[in-house]
Amino acid sequence: MTDSSNEVAQRTAATLAYVCAKVEQIREDLCTGAGGDEAPLDQLLAAIRDGGDLTGPLDRLHHRLQADGDAKGIYGNIRNGAAPHGLHPAGIDASGPPEIVYLCPVSQCSRYWWPQAAASVPQCQIRGEKLRRGRL
């Protein structure tokens, strides 16, 4: 994978993580926006489930949200993908036992969730499966 395709893959993963975490808010924004329907989101979800190319559906969703008044769309709400291997997030002690984190069930996006006392593991809003347990 070239640097450019790696960057695209990281951006796509980060964007899917954002969509997964905010799917209900995005759906509501689309329904109450000028377009009045959630077709761009449904098209993206279908492309994800079918394993199709996500570039067009992601771009259409992004532009539709912007047209409806969300200046950031979906791309403006993400960071530049995941940290490179070997780097650890601030506050994580890499010398101790591994930290538990919950991740995308099919490793398609970069969504994560830290375990919280008395909280159930959330599910992927795209696939309907619980996030999978992982370690840092």
Q: pLDDT digit string (tens) for 39-71?
A: 999 999 999 999 889 999 999 999 999 888 888
Q: pLDDT digit string (tens) for 7-24?
A: 888 889 999 999 998 999
**Burial per residue of 72-104, b for 16 or more beta-carbon CB atoms within 10 angstroms, e otherwise:** ebbbebbeebeeeeeeeeeeeeeeeeebebbbb
Question: pTM surpassing 0.85?
Answer: no
